[in-house]
Chains A and B, each alone.
Chain A
Amino acid sequence: MATTKSLMAIVVAATLSVAACSGSGGGTSAAPVTAPNDPSLVTGQITVLTNRTDLEQDGTLAKYAAAFTKVYPKASVKFEAITDYEGEVKIRLNTSQYGDVLLIPNNIARKDYPSFFASLGSEADFSSKYRFVPNSTVNGKVYGVATFGNANGFVYNTAVWKQAGITSWPKTTAEFLADLKLIKDKTSATPYYTNYHDGWPLTQWQGAFGGVSCDPQANNALAQSTAPWAAGKELNTIDTLLYDTVKQGLVETDPTTTNWENSKTLLASGKVGTMLLGSWAISQMQKAATTAGKDPSTIGYMPFPSQTNGSFCSVSAPDYLEGVSSKSKNQPTARAWIDWFTDKSGYAASQGAISTAKDAPLPPTLAEFQKQGVKLVELDQAKATLVNTIDKGSEIGLTAPDYRQKIVDAARGTGGTLQAQFDDLNKKWATAQQSAS
């Protein structure tokens, strides 16, 4: 279960900014996979790989399969829920046995999509109907459909914040720090929980990228920048906030022994005030609150403390993308499943997540965002491949835990100064950028 959630979170972080994108990789010239219009022509059994072992155990997936068979009586779906989804599927991609429908692992460079997945149609066909289409497009062809999307922000315990006397969302990082300080002084709660030990929750900080500047071109700008950590730059702002939060002692005593599963209970029961996570976490926290015998409505969600032209911004990004295996022997049925799952299953709504369908309303978990006029930004993906190449080449790992663990180390006085870290990051980025372009 923990792995499922951590994978989901990594997905969110990874796809937010560094998901690989269109390259010159040779695409197959095969016609796009379509599903027959006549339901009786959709036949046979397909295998769907998923990371949601929790939904398999509680029978939710079986319900989806039954509902699908109701619409397509001659077709059936078999699920294969995998705990170490990323690791296992990455290896299986080298074989021909990776199911008919699968979630595209994040580690696959976008230019390689055509080697493993079947094209589902042109970008134009999809973008009128769906969100996050550029994230799965290679050379104008779409290879996957997002299962759902997430916004980014701080999930917080409203009771704790209220007890500290805070009534409105902080608008600047300085206000945010002052509020955390208030929580520390006036309540018994730990103001912020880093989840340093598990590591992946720290990668969620990358999800704030783009939301600070409110600029859809933020990711593309990274490809050109030779010093993304210079003073005033977005990454500098984000990392400085993390640094200051830890430096001022507003976090748990020992970050090296944290525990993700336990942290949900801590936040839900008011022992922890705040955590930066994707909006996927809201429903999990609400569930934790119910389990702990608390009111799930105490779980709140606020955007990153920064305003552009008087409004907050939050980056919305896809969770896993669902694609059809290029080795599948039953691609039409596989396609029918993807269409049904995206449009009809109600999966996104059940997760409290942003639906892939453009015309769907925002989920209730983000009602407060809507009320306060938080702008949702989708990052442009034009330079995503290049950014990914620079990121891997420099061994910085914008979406890997190590990079922000080192920021926390610096704040705890164990890993050099913050400026030294920024200088080092800038140098690595510039070098890798030079050799990549």
Chain B
Amino acid sequence: MSSPTTASAVARGVAGEMVVSSPGRLASRWTPWLFLLAPLLLLAVFTWVPVANLFFYSVTDWDGVSPDRSLVGLANYRELVTRPELFRVFLVSGYYLAASVVQLVLALYLATVLSFKTRFRNLFKGIIFFPYLINGVAIAFVFLFFFKPGGTLDSLLALVGISHDRLWLGDPALANPSLAAVSVWRYLGLNFILFLGAIQSVPGSLYEAAELDGATRWQQFRYLIAPSIKPILGLSVILAISGSLAVFEIPFIMTGGAGGTTTFVIQTVKQAFVFNKVGLASAASVVLLALVLLITWIQRRIVPDERVDLT
């Protein structure tokens, strides 16, 4: 807690020197804002202005290029709600949602195991977190080769004697699960590191005490680890749900949304850039934003954010 105070004290000194005539108190009132200027400016330019634009476009019939556009009120939103087929793509999100349950459970398990004294734990930590550092485009390309007929996956299966004639990305029953599996592989590391951080923030003395009391590993997890990571778990669930609704890059690059793998975001991108319906696509994005906010709100109501006190 000490470093921010020191930093602002230094800055106050500098500001005081620069504006000699002004009273130090005024300068100190502005100092934090000076520090905030850069991030706020970036936030405004790259987030708030585009979002405001998005809301504006959603009430116009702009085609994305034409110099003229007209206000059409809520017509785009009306079109959205009168075309139920536009929301059918959310069924695809179900695959990713199911995958994220697997992802959370797996991440939690690995984090727990690696928080105890396991051999090569640092190596494993690295291996599990590594995929998250790779660019999504690169991952999509790697897995394209992985899933190819006669590709890496088929070769591996052949090694253990499993031969099959199914197409991992070509078979509609397998395409979405395959893509969702890639998503798990990619994001597992993030959940893992969040959980691991939370688990390691539990004071070591508590584990010692638990061990002295004869608690088993399971009991340690149930009564020590689980309660301490509850807030992080809540956060991960929200991220998983909103992430499942807004899946984009992996299916977009790997299948382009073909063969029943179109997600809501891919559909929106196509409306905007293939069919020149920027207005409608903006309205769809606003609806997606509203959905994510709604789910977050419901989640917060069901699982309120409570302070954890382990002692």
Contacts and interface: CB of A to CB of B under 8 A. Distances in A.
A257 B258 contact: no
The secondary-structure label for the interface of chain A is loop
A87 B171 CA distance: 32
Interface stretch (B58-66, B105-113, B199-207, B282-290): B58-66
A93 B63 CA distance: 13
Interface in A68-99: 87, 90, 93-94
A168 to B, nearest CB: 34
Nearest to A253: B149
A347 to B, nearest CB: 27
A197 interface: yes
Contact of A196 (B64, B65, B175, B258): B258
Contacts of A401: 256, 258
B148 interface: yes
B256 A415 contact: no
Interface in A105-161: 107-109, 112, 115
Contacts of B151: 257
- Interface residues of B toward A: which range? 20 to 34
Contacts of B63: 109
Nearest to B280: A395
Nearest to A115: B67
B147 interface: yes
B30 interface: no
B67 A402 contact: no
A235 interface: no
A78 to B, nearest CB: 25
A392 interface: yes
Contacts of B160: none
Contacts of A108: 65
Contacts of B64: 90, 107
A300 interface: no
A400 B258 contact: no
B259 interface: yes
Contacts of B227: none
Contacts of A94: 65
Interface in A398-422: 400-402, 405, 409, 412, 414-415
A408 to B, nearest CB: 8
A197 B167 CA distance: 14
A109 B66 contact: yes
Given A112-B66, A392-B275, A414-B172, A257 B260 contact: no
Contact of B276 (A87, A257, A392, A412): A392
B67 A197 contact: no
A38 interface: no
A402 B259 CA distance: 9
A143 B98 CA distance: 53
Contact of A256 (B67, B258, B270, B277): B258
Contacts of B26: none
Interface string A180-210: 0000000000000000110100000000000
Nearest to A200: B256
Contacts of A359: none
A117 B144 CA distance: 41
A13 to B, nearest CB: 13
Contact of B148 (A90, A254, A402, A405): A254
Interface string B255-273: 1111110000000001101
Interface in B70-93: none
A199 B256 contact: yes
Contact of B258 (A112, A253, A405): A405
- Interface residues of A toward B: which range? 20 to 34
Contacts of B270: 400, 402
B274 interface: yes
B169 interface: yes
Contacts of A414: 171-172, 259-260
B181 to A, nearest CB: 15
Contact of B65 (A109, A253, A395, A400): A109
Contacts of A402: 257-258, 270, 274
Contact of B170 (A109, A256, A415): A256
Contacts of B271: 395
A170 interface: no
A412 B170 contact: yes
Nearest to B255: A256
A216 interface: no
A232 B256 CA distance: 31
A107 B170 CA distance: 30
B264 to A, nearest CB: 15
A112 B66 CA distance: 6
A414 B67 CA distance: 41
Contacts of A249: none
A108 B64 CA distance: 9
Contacts of A27: none
A107 B257 CA distance: 21
Contacts of A109: 63, 65-66, 276
A397 B258 CA distance: 14
B259 A107 contact: no
Nearest to B86: A395
B148 A257 contact: yes
A44 interface: no
A363 interface: no
Interface in A229-283: 253-257
Given A112-B67, A257-B169, A392 B149 contact: no
Interface of A: 87, 90, 93-94, 107-109, 112, 115, 196-197, 199, 253-257, 392, 395, 397, 400-402, 405, 409, 412, 414-415
15 contacts: A107-B273, A107-B276, A108-B65, A254-B149, A254-B169, A257-B148, A257-B167, A257-B170, A392-B277, A397-B275, A400-B270, A401-B256, A405-B259, A414-B259, A415-B259
What 9 A-B pairs come out closest when comparing CB atoms?
Answer: A414-B172, A256-B170, A256-B169, A405-B258, A257-B148, A254-B149, A254-B170, A254-B167, A392-B275
Given A94-B65, A405-B256, 4 more contacts: A256-B167, A402-B274, A414-B171, A415-B259
